[in-house]
């Protein structure tokens, strides 16, 4: 099992067995049938990647980034199960094991194309839209201090108390459009901050790759390889 696959298994397990709550290392060890020492080591790695938050005596909980990874893994798994069962004729009992393997080696672009090809049920698309809303709500709970006081209040009513735009507008005695604009600006700030965190992580990964390549190539050659990778990614 590769390191990335193992990491994904941990994130997915926490997501499926704890959701938004914390989970103990003991529960993870028993569920994944690994040693407590292995769990501690992996949790530390996941925390450094920004995928979990680990608190002493409380256990580990997924960050918004961890939730997004887990949701994408579940989505890939379900798409493969649907494809194998409805297009290739495998039984419901057979598809799970295959999907467990395929979900780890499927790029998001391939999953999206496969979903279109098999005409993945519309309710699943609606569910992913709901999960995006949940994701922004999770970002808000982690990074609300970045927002203005008014944005914090409005997003709190919208995401945490599930009030409608009209109800929030009445509370603040402003127009519904005014509430909508404030919420959208707040959401944009949260998503841009999360994007900055991802870019910083990508820069760190590129520097690690550059250092590794420099041991095999000249620094100039290694830097050239990195530049080509950046062009491909962009």
CATH of the domain at 58: 1.10.10.10
Q: Is residue 77 part of a domain?
A: yes
User: Can you give the residue range of the structural domain that contains 112?
Assistant: 67-131
- Claim to verify: residue 190 and residue 173 sit in the same structural domain: yes
186, 154 Cβ separation under 8 angstroms: yes
d(CA 60, CA 54): 4
pLDDT in tens, 53-71: 888 878 898 888 888 899 8
82, 120 Cβ separation under 8 angstroms: yes
pLDDT at residue 234 in the model: 47
d(CA 65, CA 135): 9
d(CA 1, CA 9): 10
d(CA 178, CA 168): 10
C-alpha distances in Å from residue 34, one per residue of 10, 40, 43: 11, 11, 13
pLDDT at residue 22 in the model: 87
The residue to which tokens 């009030």 are assigned: 163
- Claim to verify: residue 150 and residue 214 sit in the same structural domain: yes
As a whole number, mean pLDDT of residues 125-141 equals 65
Q: Is residue 136 part of a domain?
A: no
Beta bridge partners of 152: none
pLDDT over 70 at 46, yes or no: yes
User: What is the number of structural domains in the chain?
Assistant: 3
As a whole number, mean pLDDT of residues 104-109 equals 87
- Claim to verify: residue 60 and residue 71 sit in the same structural domain: no
Q: Is residue 194 part of a domain?
A: yes
- Claim to verify: residue 53 and residue 21 sit in the same structural domain: yes
As a whole number, mean pLDDT of residues 126-136 equals 61
- Claim to verify: residue 166 and residue 112 sit in the same structural domain: no
Q: Is 147 left (phi over 0), alpha (psi -120 to 50) or beta?
A: beta
As a whole number, mean pLDDT of residues 175-201 equals 79
Token pair in block for residue 109: 């672009």
Q: Is residue 210 part of a domain?
A: yes
Picking from 103, 131, 159, the residue at the C-terminal end of a domain is: 131
pLDDT at residue 34 in the model: 92
As a whole number, mean pLDDT of residues 14-41 equals 90
Q: Is residue 164 part of a domain?
A: yes
């Amino acid at each position: 099992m590769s390191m990335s696959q193992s990491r994904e298994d941990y994130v997915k397990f926490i997501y499926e067995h704890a959701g938004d709550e914390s989970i103990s290392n003991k529960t993870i060890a028993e569920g994944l049938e690994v040693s407590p020492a292995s769990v501690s080591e992996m949790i530390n790695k996941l925390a450094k990647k920004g995928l979990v938050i680990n608190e002493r005596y409380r256990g580990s909980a997924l960050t918004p980034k961890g939730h997004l990874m887990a949701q994408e893994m579940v989505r890939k798994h379900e798409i493969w199960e649907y494809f194998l069962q409805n297009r290739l004729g495998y039984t419901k009992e057979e598809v799970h094991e295959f999907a467990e393997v395929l979900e780890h080696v499927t790029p998001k672009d391939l999953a999206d194309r496969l979903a279109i090809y098999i005409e993945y049920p519309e309710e699943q698309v609606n569910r992913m839209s709901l999960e995006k809303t949940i994701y922004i709500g999770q970002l808000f709970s982690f990074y609300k201090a970045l927002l203005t006081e008014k944005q914090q209040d409005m997003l709190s009513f919208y995401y945490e108390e599930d009030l409608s735009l009209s109800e929030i507008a009445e509370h603040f005695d402003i127009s519904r459009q005014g509430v909508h604009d404030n919420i959208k600006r707040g959401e944009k700030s949260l998503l841009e901050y999360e994007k900055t965190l991802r870019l910083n992580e990508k820069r760190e990964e590129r520097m690690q790759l550059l250092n590794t390549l420099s041991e095999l190539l000249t620094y100039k050659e290694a830097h050239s390889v990195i530049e080509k990778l950046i062009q491909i990614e962009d």
